[in-house]
Structure 1
Amino acid sequence: MDTQATSTIEDVTAGLGATGYVAARPIALALWLAERLAKPILVEGPAGVGKTELARAIAAWRGLPLHRLQCHEGLDETRALYEWKYGKQLLYTQILKDRIGPLLGDAPGLAPALAKLDGFSDLFFSEAFLEPRPLLAALREPAGCVLLIDEVDKADEAFEAFLLELLADHAVTIPEIGTIRAAVPPIVLLTSNGVRELGDALKRRCLHLHIGLPAPALEARIVAARLPGIAAVLLRQVVLFVQGLRKLDLKKQPSISETIDWARALTLLHTESLDPDLVRETLNLLLKHEADIAAAGPELAGLALKAKRDAEGGMPLPA
């Protein structure tokens, strides 16, 4: 990162804002500190609050490529770091097979023949046959990049341990080639939805950032940034309705991403004000479990009426 361009936390906020990402101060502060401490950021919080989008915003703001590793159960270092070009290796094997006779034709015995073949032993595990995966590709970016290790809590502990060298030294070791170190350390973000508890060793190497569900005023700013044409009254009603919905006993509360999707749908439907029937018809954009939709059903009319009344009252949204 260019430290001149981010001399203040406000510069970070403005830079992310230029991409459409509304960053609360804790987010901007974490990024500002990560730059100066050369540490990755571990971003935790429920799904849909903007963890992955933060990495995209940083890359867009900085004009850097984004390399994303989507973690999952069973992910190992070879899938995340590199793989060998087996098709190319097979082709070269065939070429070598066709030429093996002429190459060894004048060898007087087995030992001299093996000595002649020795020079080919490492050819198939060299740079020419290496296919970089996201982690290695990120380290090899000559001008740096943003590396997103998404949902690291879905990977197992062995993979988490493998990440420690990368996070601490911005380097990885490939047994056949050696240690590869980044010329320009990437900006690293790891995200976690809390599927499992991450190890202390990983947490020690990272700055911690928790992104929770936003307060009404912040949520309104986020939705307005994504939907600049939304009417102010409808925006306030949407935010107040969703905030009220989150107070119900639900299996999964609607996140900011669902709020944005719902607001976008309402604008496509040319909605000027929340109507209980329309809310009911579009509720599946906010709630993803049928049990939650059924539980919220009796409350919808009251929540919609209260959101409309409070929005039209003109009181500032709680910060």
Structure 2
Amino acid sequence: MTWFDSAADAGKRLADAGYLADQATATTTFLAGALEKPLLVEGPAGVGKTELAKAIARATGAELVRLQCYEGLDEARALYEWNYKKQLLFIQAAEVTSKESEERAEPQRDWATDIFTEEFLLTRPLLTAIRRAEPTVLLIDEVDKTDVEVEGLLLEVLSDFQVTIPELGTMAAVRRPLVVLTSNATRELSEAVRRRCLYLHIDYPDADREHAIVTSQVPDIEDTLVRQIVETVARLRALELRKSPSIAESVDWARTLVSLGTGTLDAATIDATLGVVLKHSSDLDRAVRELRLRQG
């Protein structure tokens, strides 16, 4: 499958899918598909890393398979596990059958090997994506939240697009998925993982691009209000906050103000709605204080 014909094609189709990609993002997305290389996307939370993978799936008509990473994630949740309850029921039934066969003096069957077959295999996101014959986008989301050991599980997938199950052997990809890994850079990823990936850093957009993004997501908003939102969010990002507002929160703020029927972002409106974009009390206090000082 050819994911995109060119970087320009990637940019256009992503835009049609609701994702406004800059030149670097469009080019790297095209190359990830053309070279069949995983794409590692880093940047602050809320700048559109996860949404990029979703947009690729929408733009290409592929199925999105998502592995949400978290502390404590293990092989059983990422790759596969055996259906132990079903295996136990099978063994119990087999014991009854074996006793009946023994009473009839029939040859005994080795039931132990029968419980490690496809019938008892529970596939998790990594193995599911590897085995799909249809076009698939595999999103490994927030990989930096996992333990370092989990990265070892990814190496075989990212290198050879295959998974080895001791009881069944090696399962190679029928059709290689387009793999997108996202990271908020809360910890440094191993060089082994980085070597296997193309790299893209997405930061907060400039004012013009953020204006375009907000307008595309909230088409019924007035242009003047969009500019006020973008300017205010830029000022908030310049402060030393625990969590700076993301693009997603700019869009949420725009939708909030449209829902309220607000045509301008004045001091009273900021006070009433700032909780849409800032989620820590210390950030709210600092923002209100700093914005008022600058306004005054």
TM-score by length of structure 1 reads 0.89
Aligned to 2:2: 2
Separation (CA, whole Å) in 1 of partners of 2:102 and 2:26: 65
1:207 aligns with 2:198: yes
Q: Deviation per CA, 1:66-93, whole angstroms, max 9, x where unpaired?
A: 1100111121122211121222222212
Q: Which amino acid aligns with 1:46?
A: P
Aligned to 1:191: 182
Separation (CA, whole Å) in 1 of partners of 2:291 and 2:101: 81
Separation (CA, whole Å) in 2 of partners of 1:65 and 1:7: 19
Aligned to 1:317: none
Separation (CA, whole Å) in 1 of partners of 2:262 and 2:151: 47
1:279 aligns with 2:270: yes
Instruction: Describe how 1:15-164 pairs up with structure 2 within 5 A.
Output: 15-107=13-105, 116-118=108-110, 120-164=111-155
Shifted more, 195-204 versus 135-144: the winner is 135-144
Separation (CA, whole Å) in 2 of partners of 1:244 and 1:78: 45
- Structure number with larger C-alpha Rg: 1
Separation (CA, whole Å) in 1 of partners of 2:289 and 2:149: 47
1:181 aligns with 2:179: no
State the 1:107 CA deviation: 4.8
Check conservation: 1:280, 1:300, Cα contact below 8 A: no
Check conservation: 2:49, 2:202, Cα contact below 8 A: yes
- List gaps (5 residues or longer) in structure 1: 307-319
Separation (CA, whole Å) in 2 of partners of 1:81 and 1:249: 40
Separation (CA, whole Å) in 1 of partners of 2:246 and 2:147: 26
Separation (CA, whole Å) in 2 of partners of 1:144 and 1:87: 32
State the 1:210 CA deviation: 0.5
Separation (CA, whole Å) in 2 of partners of 1:294 and 1:301: 11
Shifted more, 99-108 versus 200-209: the winner is 99-108
Separation (CA, whole Å) in 1 of partners of 2:224 and 2:293: 18
Check conservation: 1:55, 1:189, Cα contact below 8 A: yes
Q: Secondary structure at the match of 1:101?
A: helix
Structure 1 residues 302 and 19 mapped into 2: Cα distance closer, same or farther (>3 Å)? farther
Q: Which runs of 4+ in 1 moved over 4 A?
A: none
Check conservation: 2:2, 2:33, Cα contact below 8 A: no
Check conservation: 2:20, 2:213, Cα contact below 8 A: yes
Q: Which amino acid aligns with 1:117?
A: R
1:269 aligns with 2:269: no
Number of equivalenced pairs: 296
State the 1:106 CA deviation: 4.8
Check conservation: 2:237, 2:244, Cα contact below 8 A: yes
Aligned to 1:310: none
Separation (CA, whole Å) in 1 of partners of 2:292 and 2:250: 18
Identity of aligned residues (%): 48
State the 1:201 CA deviation: 0.5
- List gaps (5 residues or longer) in structure 2: none
- Once superposed, what is the RMSD of the aligned Cα atoms? 1.6
Separation (CA, whole Å) in 1 of partners of 2:60 and 2:178: 10
Aligned to 1:248: 239
Check conservation: 2:2, 2:34, Cα contact below 8 A: no
State the 1:8 CA deviation: 2.1
State the 1:2 CA deviation: 2.3
TM-score by length of structure 2 reads 0.96
Check conservation: 1:65, 1:145, Cα contact below 8 A: yes
Q: Deviation per CA, 1:84-135, whole angstroms, max 9, x where unpaired?
A: 1222222212221221212223559xxxx7xx232x2211111011111111
Aligned to 1:294: 285
Aligned to 1:315: none
Check conservation: 2:135, 2:175, Cα contact below 8 A: yes
